Amino acid sequence: MRIGVFGRGHVGAALGHALASAGHEVRYGVRDPAEAEDEEPGLVALPEAGRWGEVLLLGVPYGAVQEVLHAAGDLDRKIIVDPTNAPKPPTDERSSSQIIAGFVPTAKVVRAFNTVPAEVMLNPRFGEARASTFVCADDALARTTVLGLARDIGFDAVDAGPLKSACSIDRLLAVWRVLAFEGGLGRNLAFQLLRR
């Protein structure tokens, strides 16, 4: 698939690299591609990434999302993957992804990848085990598409239902942070769902 990644920081670069390695076409939408120091191929302006991508991925801080989506232009019917984390979750009733969906009402916002660090996005394999990522979206086809992309890059992709489910899924972040930082386990840490 053609994946337009907004931003080329930790998350954008990790997911972009993983998706390109899995055989997808990736272009990065950045603020000023002409001024990009490394002159990497695949860097384009935000509207070009928005037009070109079948799936768009938010690799920018939560606080910049509205501005970036506005700059990207017409995103009607695009699938937009949201791995961003708000500094403070908005409420227990409404996830930050639902707020983002409100910025682009005719696009299909999918919550995924936000409970794993960039290190795990780049490589979700832990020996024989695979990190789980929980995928939420109101549009079933968009959710299926992103579940497929997550599996392509090695995740155990779990269908977590509608976008509202992100309110509950996001609680995993607090647990991850406690274990990684207070528990001293470090950032190369992820959850795996067991089923039977």
Residue closer to ligand NAP by CB (options 57, 147) is 57
Name the residue with the smallest CB distance to ligand NAP: 9
Evaluate whether 137 touches 163 at the Cβ level (below 8 Å): yes
Residue closer to ligand NAP by CB (options 64, 189) is 64
Identify the three-state secondary structure at position 174. helix
Q: How far is the CB of 196 from ligand NAP (least distance, A)?
A: 29
Beta bridge partners of 135: 159
Q: How far is the CB of 90 from ligand NAP (least distance, A)?
A: 14
**Tokens of residue 167, six digits:** 């309110």
Q: How far is the CB of 31 from ligand NAP (least distance, A)?
A: 4
Q: How far is the CB of 62 from ligand NAP (least distance, A)?
A: 4
Distance CA 96, CA 128 (A): 33
Residue closer to ligand NAP by CB (options 22, 173) is 173
Evaluate whether 30 touches 59 at the Cβ level (below 8 Å): no
Residue closer to ligand NAP by CB (options 7, 124) is 7
Q: How far is the CB of 81 from ligand NAP (least distance, A)?
A: 11
Residue closer to ligand NAP by CB (options 10, 51) is 10
Residue closer to ligand NAP by CB (options 57, 137) is 57
Distance CA 107, CA 117 (A): 26
Q: How far is the CB of 162 from ligand NAP (least distance, A)?
A: 20
**Tokens of residue 144, six digits:** 């299926």
Listed in sequence order, the DSSP H helices in the chain are 10-21, 46-52, 65-72, 96-103, 118-122, 140-152, 166-169, 171-177
Residues forming the site for ligand NAP (CB under 6 A) = 7-12, 31, 59-62, 64, 67-68, 83-85, 114, 117-118
Cβ-count burial of 3 within 10 angstroms (0-12 exposed, 13-18 middle, 19+ buried)?
buried
